Structure 1
Amino acid sequence: MQSLPDRPLRIAAIVLLLATGVFTGAQLAKTAPLIGWYVETIGMTLVEAGWVTALIGIFVALAALPAGFAIARMGPQRAFVVASAIIVPGGLILAATTSPGLIFAARMIEGLGYVVLCVGLPSLLTAISPPTWRGPVLAIWSGFVPLGYASSDVLAGLIAPAFGAQTYLLVVILLFAALALASNVVLRWLTGVPADAAPVPAGASGVFSVSIVLVALAFGAFVLQSVALFTFMPTFASVPGALLFAPALVALSTPIGNALAGVLVAGRTARFMMVLGIAAFGVTAAAAYFAFVSGGAFAASWGAVTMAVASGVVASVLFAAIPFLVARPQAVPAAIGLVSQAGGLATLASPPLAAFIIERAGWTGYGWFLALTGLAGGAILLPLIAAGRRRAP
């Protein structure tokens, strides 16, 4: 890492923002362990409880790109403060109420803050990180959703049985609030923040370039594949003798890929990142074949874990490459918004599409769907090998 006068403070800010990102992901995930509680105690139908969990994701699918342009005008640090000020009241209302109407209203408030954080936090991390740090930092950031799911699951298991579901919800939002506040305090102490952290006129330059559009399409393919994998892994595991271990271990393998990619992309060009992404997509395709087509619990178990790790690598390299593919640094927030929106749309499409394939072609057809999606993602990135020669200064 390069020499900086405020290096310890800058590292502290990055670590706090990454931790805040994990608990941003936890806001998305925190209602999933409570679906039974919403049905049995609150009196919702199963469909309504499902919408409580899915509602935030709809905001990302519909508004991530506009949020990116807004953050480019506002500046990522100011956007972080505003989004935190929106999501915390929503979380407090959610923890305090048992009224279905207020629960949906609270989730809509949280969704508004969440979509800004999804784009604003990586934009802010890019702005405060020296160029040689940006690839690894964004690679680690990209694991915020699986880590958020893991954190919420652990906290739900520890708190909800002993102290109740509402106490668990309160703890999750208060942990986010504490981390966001600490991050903001440290950010205010930083000096020499790069100029691209400042508000600038928003524009499409560098956002709708061929390179960024291809990254967005590849990210959509990644999300289509990975959401399908994790959504139906518990269903697959319910087949007698299908897996050697709990399906949760598959999802928890993803951050290994994020960490691995963070190490591999440090100081490398976007071209290297694209080659790594293509290779990782190829691994997901091969792993999907072994997991669901070839047969056998051993192949299925380790194929699924390998696929999850490789998926973590794919997500990391796609986010890490964004600052090196935009035409100007100020376009990073909007570019992240475009990539995130592609992922949001794929998140909505993936479960019903995978379910249709499973119903029509069984688990073998599902495996081929995952494999072909991985191959398609790798093919999308091929033109970027020639376009991605820029190295961090």
Structure 2
Amino acid sequence: MSESTRSVSVTHWLAVSAALLCGVAIAANVGKVSIMITALRDAFGLSLVEAGWLSSAINVLAVSVAVVFGLSADRIGGLRLCLAGIGFGIAGGVGSVLATSFPLLLAARVVEGAAYIAVAVSAPILLSAASRPADRRFVLGVWAAYMPAGIGLVMIAAPMLQGVGGWQAIWWFAIALLAAGGASVWWQRRHYHFAEAPAADDGALAVAREVMRQPLAWVLGLLFATWSVQHFTLIVWLPTFLRDQRGLEIGWVALLSCVMVLVNVPGNVIGGALLRRNVARGRLLVLGSGLSGVCMYAAFSPTLSDGLRYLACLGVSFIGGLIPSSILSASTVIARTSRQIGTFQGLNMQISNLGQLLGPPLLAALVATRGSWEGAVALPVGAAVAGVVLGIVAWRLERAYHSVP
């Protein structure tokens, strides 16, 4: 990114932290619905179908328009779009609290979805702007932990907050996080050097098309989708397994599930640190996909003890952290200028959300067809195998680039 590296000689870590806080806040905003879906069904009298729409609304939106948001970030500037996303998130959260019917609740969730996409595609621009070239791969690798960190945070806070003020208290908690993230970014705005909107020109779409023409961008997006299938299979399966097949109390189910989500965070940080040490991105992608597939097979194996199966779940989440950190930091290679970062992030997000959208229904179909959770292991393990193949392809494609991260 030749344009983006001229102005930053030192990493502004407070500015980096502010952008990371926006990511954690928007992830908590995303994760709160799945955690509180039972309470929402009781409060609004939702059917299973309505609950499903509420849970999947953000994924549907991301699959449909994430690239458009990425183009907008490149056009109007990362800082403006990030702050707009925070504002939409707060508005959607307040709208949810005030909603009196399912249509109003769903409309508020769509607004929150737009907020999520806006922050997810724009925050990496701010992070790149605030960090010097030598730190950029590490910073973007750490950014990949925003989703498990935010979801884990709301999982930890939910039991206490729900006891104090019901599901609405969790919404207000998420709103407070968003407000803190927005205020922090605004306070650090002077450090987001190239995050402001560039002067308008007729070549904006041509700049974006340059990203879309790169095979590596598409391969990485598809690889992210394979990881999404694995991770969300685990998120769906583990609580059900612990509650229905092992009879654990809801408190233990929540704790063990929360730990599983949170161990993905250090995996992402380690991935960023390895990239900073110039470990090949393709090597990390192949290693992460391969080992996560082995651990996933072990997690679903009925011949292993419950303790080993749970450790395998932790292994999937931890080692899988190498995958998002390697992919989301690839803008240092694919984005030739600062104006292409948002397009890459949007394209990546749109493709990867296919895994989140299609994974759960495919898993349910396999369970229904084969009669057991163990029979559905072909889906996540198959996704891991596909990830290994795509990782090898990405490794070879990246060697053709002049700047090797």
Indicate conservation of the 8 Å contact 2:28/2:154, yes or no: yes
1:294–1:186: structure 2 CA closer, same or farther, 3 Å change rule? same
Decide which of 272, 275, 283 is 1:262's aligned counterpart.
272
**Partner of 1:19 in structure 2?**
21
Decide which of 286, 289, 297 is 2:294's aligned counterpart.
286
Amino acid at match of 1:295: T
**Partner of 1:300 in structure 2?**
309
Decide which of 105, 110, 126 is 2:107's aligned counterpart.
105
TM-score, normalization: structure 2?
Answer: 0.87
1:12–1:388: structure 2 CA closer, same or farther, 3 Å change rule? same
Q: Deviations over 1:16-51 (max 9, x none)?
A: 110110010011111223222222232222332332
1:381–1:21: structure 2 CA closer, same or farther, 3 Å change rule? same
**Partner of 2:332 in structure 1?**
323
Tell me how far apart the structure 1 counterparts of residues 15 and 267 of structure 2 sit (CA, whole Å): 23
**Partner of 2:318 in structure 1?**
309
**Partner of 1:165 in structure 2?**
167
Q: CA deviation at 1:353?
A: 0.6
Q: Deviations over 1:139-170 (max 9, x none)?
A: 11112222221112222212121123223312
Q: CA deviation at 1:281?
A: 0.6
Tell me how far apart the structure 2 counterparts of residues 30 and 6 of structure 1 sit (CA, whole Å): 39
**Partner of 1:384 in structure 2?**
394
Off by >6 Å, runs of 4+ in structure 1: 241-245
Tell me how far apart the structure 2 counterparts of residues 83 and 241 of structure 1 sit (CA, whole Å): 41
Tell me how far apart the structure 1 counterparts of residues 369 and 104 of structure 2 sit (CA, whole Å): 39
Indicate conservation of the 8 Å contact 2:74/2:197, yes or no: no
Decide which of 137, 140, 143 is 1:138's aligned counterpart.
140
Tell me how far apart the structure 2 counterparts of residues 112 and 282 of structure 1 sit (CA, whole Å): 34
Amino acid at match of 1:293: S
Amino acid at match of 2:333: F
Q: CA deviation at 1:199?
A: 5.8
Tell me how far apart the structure 2 counterparts of residues 206 and 5 of structure 1 sit (CA, whole Å): 23
Tell me how far apart the structure 1 counterparts of residues 348 and 313 of structure 2 sit (CA, whole Å): 25
Q: Does 1:351 align with 2:383?
A: no
Decide which of 215, 222, 226 is 1:221's aligned counterpart.
226
Q: CA deviation at 1:280?
A: 0.9
Tell me how far apart the structure 1 counterparts of residues 345 and 227 of structure 2 sit (CA, whole Å): 15
Percent identity for Structure 1 against Structure 2: 23
Amino acid at match of 2:245: V
Amino acid at match of 1:33: I
1:73–1:56: structure 2 CA closer, same or farther, 3 Å change rule? same
Amino acid at match of 1:385: W
Indicate conservation of the 8 Å contact 2:8/2:132, yes or no: no
Partner secondary structure for residue 112 of structure 1: helix
Q: Which is further off, 242-251 or 145-154?
A: 242-251
Q: Does 1:339 align with 2:348?
A: yes
Tell me how far apart the structure 1 counterparts of residues 16 and 198 of structure 2 sit (CA, whole Å): 18
Q: CA deviation at 1:85?
A: 2.3
Q: Does 1:190 align with 2:191?
A: yes
Decide which of 173, 178, 181 is 1:179's aligned counterpart.
181
**Partner of 1:82 in structure 2?**
84
Indicate conservation of the 8 Å contact 1:28/1:53, yes or no: no
Q: CA deviation at 1:205?
A: 0.4
Decide which of 358, 369, 372 is 2:382's aligned counterpart.
372
1:204–1:159: structure 2 CA closer, same or farther, 3 Å change rule? same
- Please give the residue correspondences for 1:198-237 in structure 2 after superposition, counting only pairs within 5 Å: 198=198, 201-202=204-205, 203-237=208-242
Indicate conservation of the 8 Å contact 1:146/1:252, yes or no: yes
**Partner of 2:260 in structure 1?**
250
Tell me how far apart the structure 2 counterparts of residues 309 and 197 of structure 1 sit (CA, whole Å): 37
Partner secondary structure for residue 171 of structure 1: helix
Indicate conservation of the 8 Å contact 2:40/2:167, yes or no: no
- Runs of at least 5 residues in structure 1 that lack an aligned partner in the other structure: none
Q: Does 1:239 align with 2:248?
A: no
CA RMSD of aligned residues (A): 2.6
Q: Deviations over 1:117-144 (max 9, x none)?
A: 1111122212332222221111111122
Q: CA deviation at 1:84?
A: 2.0
Q: CA deviation at 1:267?
A: 4.6
Q: CA deviation at 1:339?
A: 0.7
1:196–1:5: structure 2 CA closer, same or farther, 3 Å change rule? closer
1:99–1:117: structure 2 CA closer, same or farther, 3 Å change rule? same
Amino acid at match of 1:50: G
- Runs of at least 5 residues in structure 2 that lack an aligned partner in the other structure: none
Indicate conservation of the 8 Å contact 1:63/1:341, yes or no: yes
1:16–1:196: structure 2 CA closer, same or farther, 3 Å change rule? closer
